[in-house]
Structure 1
Amino acid sequence: MALDIRRFIQRFVEEAADQLPRLREGINALEQGYADREQINELFRAAHTLKGSSRMLKLTPITALAHSTEELLSALRDDTIAITPEIISLLNQAVDDLTDFVSQLAEGATGEELSAVDERLCSALENAAHGQTQPSLPVSAAPPTQSSLAKSSTATSSTAISSTATSSPPSALASESELRLSDTVRVRLDRLDDVIRLMGEVLSGHHHLHSLVDQARELCATLPIEQQVPFHAFNRELKDSVLTQDSLMSDLHDRALQMRMLPLSVVFDPLAKMSRELAQSLGKQVDCRVRGSEIELDRQMIDRLSDPLIHLLRNALDHGVETPLERQAAGKPLRGQLKIEAWQDAGWVVVEMHDDGAGIALDAVRQKALAKQLITEEQLNALSEQETLELIFLPGFSTKSMITDFSGRGVGMDVVKRTVVDELNGDLQLACERGRGTRFTMRLPLSLAMMRVLLVSVGGMKLGVTAPYVSELVECSAESLIEAAGQRTLILRNEFVPVVSLAHLLELPASSATDTTLLLVVHQRHQKLALIIDSLIDERDMVIKPLPTHLRHLPLVSGMVSMGRNTLVSLLHVPALLELTRRTAQRPGAERKAATIAQRILVVDDSLNTREIEKDVLEAWGYHVTLAENGRDGLAKALAEPFDAVLTDVEMPVMDGFALTARLRENEVYRHRPIIIITSREKEADRRRGIEVGADAYIVKGSFDQNNLVETLQALLG
């Protein structure tokens, strides 16, 4: 089926209407001297996005001008040139011309019908990027007319309620009968958003009626007996009415939200075509397979998902998939395979992009991170392999040695992470196997308009946490928490989970001590954190409100919800909370005890929290620790270089701890070296099996004591 290119040009117009104001604002900040490094990064990303999207649609004049603008912004970002009035003038002229091109598209022009790009302006931009200034150029194109701007505004702020909606209004001469035959209507997106927002407000206000029903029941109990019967009837009628309205309003709100839902085919369809064209320009052969394009997401999600997918696609084709000669030398089929899949998982939509290319070279990542001064050597040595891989998400990071039209500028992957995690409240996971490919997995909520929210009380304040970040609620006694590496820790089944006071993190008044502690366990990817809270207030679906402009600098708050009667509750941004905890966690480095010899220990556990806690405990006693995330990873590392001892969990994917211990005992190097099993399995049968496969010690996590671990290790190592 042929692609309707007009539909994608319309989407480009809408995307450009978002990026061009960012460019305007950023250039104004540059001119006023207010721009910081992050704002220059934002400018650069906006130009880069326009270039990539226009290239896909063969909008050659826009691609050329955006590329030249990107060159100049790249030089500003790298501090190779200084900001001057001439540079500001060139950037303003570039944005003027880009705006004119977009206005032409909004008026119905095709890529072939666009005006020619101003070659003098492109040359001036690129010369300025290399420090060669020249007098400002005259404006090469007339500014957009009032009518063209109006058309562009209308095009970018409207949405079709039906997939069969036409792109132009009916003729003024159309008969009344013809108009009645139309089963579609175009509605401005902002008007539809207003309706949904107002309905959300009604839902939030209506929830207050439930508390009135409860108050009426309590009041009834205080009345004399003779008055209770009629009042009880009134209370029952009120309750039935509230429940009926609940159902009707929820159904109405759901149907309104469905009007904003669009299939993923809107962003998936052009990716296969784009992959073929990019692969051909790179001298590569790639088959792109798309599945799950019928899955629907909120229009707001669809709009923001386009950029991350394009960046991941370009990354896979340029960095991942090899040339035919390289694939032949590696024993692979000449044609690379790229898979883009989506499926629904409860309240989430999972989008995955997987290539069968060369994977990510860890050594190259380490070298580039040090060369770019993105991290210190000491910090780098402390990272696990997975954390090292995730350095590619830092702004300015690229393993390419040469800058090309496609990559090497260090933009793209930071956009992916920022969009998925911060803007879309999703989760991003990276998995890589050297020589066999790379997999990016995004877990996204169906909609940002309404989400399940847990409302909690902390230090006298009500706060909310969106359900996708919540793992569970745990009530325990203070004595059941252990001390590990200077950190209170909860042993949750087969995992060590750090415990922190949410009131302390937010600098709120601490509540009075009680016999039990209520913990809200939150998570992001493999990391968990147990937050001490005062109480759970409620759990329900709520309309998410974005933060007003003057509050968007608050990193720990992602949005707000209304609880009726003009009461607003802040939503905690869990990824920022986890990052704050990592930065403020007490490390035992100052109390480090020197071991006689810096012996090397391999820690194998599929829980990130458990690995990190055991690492902190051992490093506090002077041991050098290497981490592995499962049995197969641990076996590979143990065979690659010798370790003085191995600590392993039992319950792990791919290869469990029993199998790992048995395999290590078959190797001459580890035939007599200490192997300690640390697990939540308490049964005697498991202990016997651990001894049978060759473990020297068996420690149960439920009775974990860091001093016992160190003493056991010291005894075994002599």
Structure 2
Amino acid sequence: MALDIRRFIQRFVEEAADHLPRLREGISALEQGHADREQVNELFRAAHTLKGSSRMLKLVPITALAHSTEELLSALRDGTLTATPPVISLLSQAVDGLADLVGRLAEGATGDDLPAADEALCSALEATALGQAPPTPAVVTPSSEPALSSSSTPPSSAALVTESELRLSDTVRVRLDRLDDVIRLMGEVLSGHHHLHGLVDQARELSATLPAEQQGPFHAFHRELKDSVLGHDSLMSDLHDRALQMRMLPLSVVFDPLAHMSRDLAQSLGKKVDCRVRGSEIELDRQMIDRLSDPLIHLLRNALDHGLEPPAERQAAGKSPRGQLIIEAWQDADWVVVEMRDDGAGIALEAVRQKALAKQLVSEEQLNALSEQETLELIFLPGFSTKSMITDFSGRGVGMDVVKRTVVDELNGDLQLASERGSGTRFTLRLPLSLAMMRVLLVSVGGVNLGVTAPYVSELVECSSHSFIDAAGQRTLILRNEFVPVVSLAQLLELPATTAAADNTLLLVVHQRHQKLALIIDSLIDERDMVIKPLPAHLRYLPLVSGMVSMGRNALVSLLHVPALLEASRHGAQRPNEERATAALAKRILVVDDSLNTREIEKDVLEAWGYHVTLAENGRDGLAKALAEPFDAILTDVEMPVMDGFALTARLRENEVYRYRPIIIITSREKEADRRRGIEVGADAYIVKGSFDQNNLVETLQALLG
């Protein structure tokens, strides 16, 4: 796929509008004898930048003239040439010529429309740089003007200034650090404005304590203060949004080079690819785009190197010899979704298993307990990948673990992987529009205020502590069709516990992808859009904190890093199983459920009683594992994608191995019709999650297994 050069010409014109005046100022300083070594270096860098940018866009005349100018400036910089009047005259003519060519681009011309660079001027510049006499002693004319007759008077430098140069551009180039300072200051102003709401509330409370004769004037003051603060709310928010928009860039700045790169990389690998880009007009914060480049490059290389097959292999499989790679983006509310998918061979699960075992990333027992999706995601483990990136295209090596860490930890996003053998692989990145400001839920725990960014918040639940169940020593909440572990946030953070009412527990349910955790909190403070501040260098070692937000004057609130919280809760829940039987004697149980939390909790319960447990994420996955190796009993949910529990039970009963082996349905469906259907398809027991009791489950299983 060819790079659409026209889309970048306007950006080049804006860049040139910054460099050309710098060149003119430098030449003027040379003429007056005021230029120092650093200013000559600046002149050289400006010409070099114009040469490089124009070469990438195939603006040949500009490249040629900028190259010749660069040669002369290089001689000045090295001290092999001095700034004599003839040298300065040549440099002035060169800048005039460049300005004319850039002016034509600004008026809508393309690279093909530009006249050729003036050969006489280029030769004079290069000859002078070598200390030789210029090949043409007379006047050198810029490429935009017709050649002068011998009787013509050479135009002055002022006459060469075109009308387009006198018109101001509708854009202004601003240094990125200055723009960042504006956004940071706007964030501080916005945080300070939120503090005014607190002052309004304090004024209302104060009015109640005043004598009756003073309440009238004070009520008027309070009303005026409140109206002023509320009136400025939308103005402040809009002003900050406009400031953020100034830093937004279209995804085309990443997508278009990726599409161009895919052709060259595929060619170097002996493959053919058609790369299609969609949604490149979607905008993201410049900071997001900068950090997103390396992960996308790695995903691109991974798709071309490991995903797409060679042409002969594709033809043998009945596919087109040209692979299809699609890079697509779309906006979903306050999120941007970026998807990269190919129609290659997909990921071979068996190869993933073998590599994970060979590199000792997981044990064989752990591997057998993984579902298909969990097995696929082993590629995100550190050390899984054995190949480094090709430096000609990527610049530096990035592994899949770094891709995940960048997207999830640094960008507060989500990364999902789907693959089907023989049909291709899809990586889906879900990203916030900006990291500068996000929706934050503010809560109080153990006398400390904490924040959680909205992407990680699932819901708030208020319930009685009696509604929790005990699952292998882990407090658990049954939330609709799912078991969710319950953990005290104060205990997890080692904060002082508060004495809350026993029958009134407030839970903040957080999630990352398929995993959920219910955190016991003391109270909800507020929910608002807040400016995210990065952690200072001396606090970046804290794994559970991802940033900070400001509440009023001099009040900073830590933002919790939910992925790290989930990891900490998993480590805290690991308990030694003293009663576990040896692996040789343990009964083998297959647990089938689409909820990761439910699978893990049922696994903990059963392993605590000495069973060997394997997990499956849906009916199809469960059927494949059941047919691959024999199990002593099956536990299955009903509501699952691909194949539900009723269909799974019916299919298993058709198999000779499982005709009489115990199958237990564990579901949230309580209707008698569902119970009857479960028995009809061959289930031996039907347990409702709402009345789940681990002892009842174990006793039922023991009775069925004899």
Give the TM-score category using the shorter length.
Answer: 0.7 to 0.9
Report the counterpart of residue 311 of structure 2 in structure 1: 324
Once residues 231 and 166 of structure 2 are traced to their aligned partners in structure 1, the CA distance between those partners, rounded to angstroms, is 37
Q: Aligned-residue CA RMSD in angstroms?
A: 3.3
Matching of residue 692 in structure 1 with residue 680 in structure 2: yes
Deviation of residue 524 (structure 1)?
0.6
Q: Does 1:446 align with 2:469?
A: no
1:403-454 deviation digits (Å, cap 9, x = unpaired) = 99889x9843122112101110111111222222221111100100000001
Q: Distance in 2 between matches of 1:401 and 1:598?
A: 42
Alpha-carbon distance, 1:597 to partner: 4.3
In 2, distance between residues paired with 1:266 and 1:367? Answer: 39
Distance 1:181 1:399, change over 3 A: closer
Could you say which residue in structure 2 is the equivalent of 1:510? 497
- How many equivalent pairs are there? 581
Partner of 2:240: 253
Residue of structure 1 in register with 2:210 after alignment:
223
* 1:529–1:708 distance in 2 versus 1, CA, 3 Å: same
**1:336 to 2:323 alignment:** yes
CA pair 405-589 structure 1, distance change in 2 beyond 3 A? farther
Do 2:370 and 2:616's aligned partners in 1 also have CA atoms closer than 8 Å?
no
- Bigger radius of gyration among the two: 2
Choose which of 476, 490, 503 in structure 2 pairs with 1:489.
476
The residue aligned with 2:198 is 211
Confirm whether residue 436 of structure 1 aligns to residue 423 of structure 2.
yes
Change (3 A) 1:252 1:412: same
**1:454 corresponds to which letter in structure 2?**
L
Q: Which amino acid aligns with 2:690?
A: G
2:564 to 551, 571, 576: 576
The alpha carbon displacement at 1:284 in A equals 1.4
Matched, 1:284 2:271: yes
1:266 aligns to 2:289 (yes or no): no
Letter of the 1:107 counterpart: T
1:635 correspondence with 2:623: yes
Matched residue type, 1:344: Q
User: What is the rounded CA distance, in whole Å, between the counterparts of 1:636 and 1:414 in structure 2?
Assistant: 29
**What amino acid is aligned across from residue 534 of structure 2 in structure 1?**
P
CA 1:705–1:238 in 2, change beyond 3 Å: closer, same or farther?
Answer: same
Query: 1:527 matched to which residue of 2?
Result: 515
CA deviations 1:76-123 (Å, max 9, x no partner) are xxxxxxxxxxxxxxxxxxxxxxxx9x9799633439989xxxxxxxxx
Verify the 8 A CA contact 1:262 1:297 in the aligned structure 2: yes
Q: Which amino acid is the alignment partner of residue 687 of structure 2?
A: I
Query: 1:462 aligned to 432, 435, 449, which one?
Result: 449
Equivalents in 2 of 1:285, 1:422: separation in Å? 35
Aligned match of 1:66: none
**Is the aligned partner of 1:683 residue 2:671?**
yes
8 Å CA contact 1:349–1:445 kept in 2: the answer is yes
1:108 aligned counterpart, secondary structure: helix
In 1: Cα distance, 2:332 partner to 2:389 partner = 40
C-alpha contact (below 8 Å) 1:365/1:399 kept by paired residues: no
2:467 counterpart residue number: 480
Give the gaps of 5 or more residues in structure 2: 16-41, 57-73, 79-105, 109-156
* 1:232 to 1:588, Cα distance in 2 relative to 1, 3 A: same
Q: Does residue 595 of structure 2 align to residue 601 of structure 1?
A: no
**Separation in 1, partners of 2:672, 2:220:** 61
Query: 5+ residue gaps in structure 1?
Result: 15-99, 115-140, 146-163
Deviation at 1:563, TM superposition (A): 0.8
Q: What TM-score comes out, normalization by structure 2 length? A: 0.76
Mapped contact 1:165–1:184 kept (Cα < 8 A): no
The AA in structure 2 aligned to 1:538 is: D
**Aligned mates of 2:541, 2:458 — CA distance in 1:** 27
Distance 1:629 1:253 in 2: 44
In structure 1, C-alpha distance between the alignment counterparts of 2:660 and 2:690, rounded to whole Å: 28
Paired residues of 2:586 and 2:610 also in contact (CA < 8 A): yes
Taking a change above 3 Å as real, the CA distance of residues 496 and 435 of structure 1, as seen in their structure-2 partners, is same
**Correspondent of 1:198 among 185, 190, 198:** 185
Secondary structure, aligned partner of 2:620: helix
User: Which residue among 359, 376, 398 is the counterpart of 1:389?
Assistant: 376
Q: Secondary structure at the match of 1:343?
A: strand
Q: Please point out which of 344, 351, 367 is paired with 1:364.
A: 351
Amino acid at match of 1:646: I
CA shift in 2, pair 1:230/1:406, >3 Å: closer
Q: Which moved more, 1:329-338 or 1:278-287?
A: 329-338
Q: Note the 1:49-60 alignment, pairs <5 A.
A: none
Q: Could you report, residue by residue, the CA deviation over 1:449-489 in whole angstroms, capped at 9, with x for unpaired residues?
A: 00000111111111111000000111111111111022111
Distance 1:303 1:411, change over 3 A: closer
Q: Report the Cα offset of residue 560 of structure 1.
A: 0.6
CA distance in 2, matches of 1:381, 1:544: 42
Is the 2:508–2:521 contact (alpha carbons within 8 Å) kept by the matching residues of 1? yes
- Give the drift of 1:637: 2.1
2:337 paired residue among 320, 325, 350 = 350
Amino acid across the alignment from 1:207: H
Following the alignment from structure 1 to structure 2, what is the Cα–Cα distance between the partners of residues 710 and 563? 50
Asked if residue 110 in structure 1 is aligned to residue 52 in structure 2, the reply is: yes
| Structure 1 residue 622: Cα displacement | 2.3
1:296 alignment partner in structure 2: 283
CA distance in 2, matches of 1:583, 1:111: 52
Question: Residue 563 of structure 1: which of 532, 536, 551 is its match?
Answer: 551
Query: Is 1:550 matched with 2:538?
Result: yes
Structure 1: distance between partners of 2:210 and 2:225: 18
Local SS of the residue matching 1:507: coil
CA contact (8 A) 1:687 1:698 kept: yes
Asked if structure 1 preserves the Cα contact closer than 8 Å seen for 2:515 and 2:596, the reply is yes
Distance 1:289 1:178, change over 3 A: closer
Alpha-carbon distance in 2 for matches of 1:678, 1:506: 34
Alignment correspondent of 1:4:
5
In 2, the alpha carbon distance for the partners of 1:259 and 1:242 equals: 26
Instruction: Output one character per residue of 1:618-657: Cα deviation in whole Å (capped at 9) or x when no partner.
Output: 1222222221111222222223333222111111122222
- Change over 3 Å in CA distance of 1:404–1:183 after alignment to 2: closer
Q: Which residue among 302, 318, 331 is the counterpart of 1:315?
A: 302
Query: What is the CA deviation profile of residues 149-171 of structure 1, one whole-angstrom value per residue up to 9, with x for unaligned ones?
Result: xxxxxxxxxxxxxxx999xxxx9
| Contact 1:165–1:186, Cα closer than 8 Å, also in 2 | no
1:621 counterpart (609, 623, 634): 609
Paired residues of 2:438 and 2:529 also in contact (CA < 8 A):
yes
Distance 1:245 1:402, change over 3 A: closer
Deviation at 1:184, TM superposition (A): 0.8
Q: Distance in 2 between matches of 1:106 and 1:468?
A: 44
CA contact (8 A) 1:397 1:411 kept: no
Return the letter of the residue paired with 1:581.
S
Question: SS of the residue aligned with 1:222?
Answer: coil
State whether residues 594 and 621 of structure 1, in contact with CA within 8 Å, keep that contact through their aligned partners in structure 2.
no
Tell me, yes or no, if the aligned pair for 1:602 and 1:625 is still in contact at 8 Å: yes
Compute the displacement of 1:213 (Å).
1.1
Q: CA deviation at 1:611?
A: 0.6
**Structure 2 CA distance for partners of 1:386 and 1:560, relative to 1, 3 Å:** same
Q: Tell me the residue number matched to 1:132.
A: none
Deviations 1:335-354 (A, max 9, x none): 22222121112221111111
Select between 549-558 and 334-343 the one with higher mean Cα deviation: 334-343
Q: Distance in 2 between matches of 1:329 and 1:622?
A: 49
| 1:429 match: secondary structure | strand
> Measured at CA, do residues 714 and 103 of structure 1 come closer, stay the same or move farther in structure 2, by a change above 3 Å?
farther
Q: Cα–Cα, structure 1 residues 237 and 675, in superposed 2: closer, same or farther, change >3 Å?
A: same
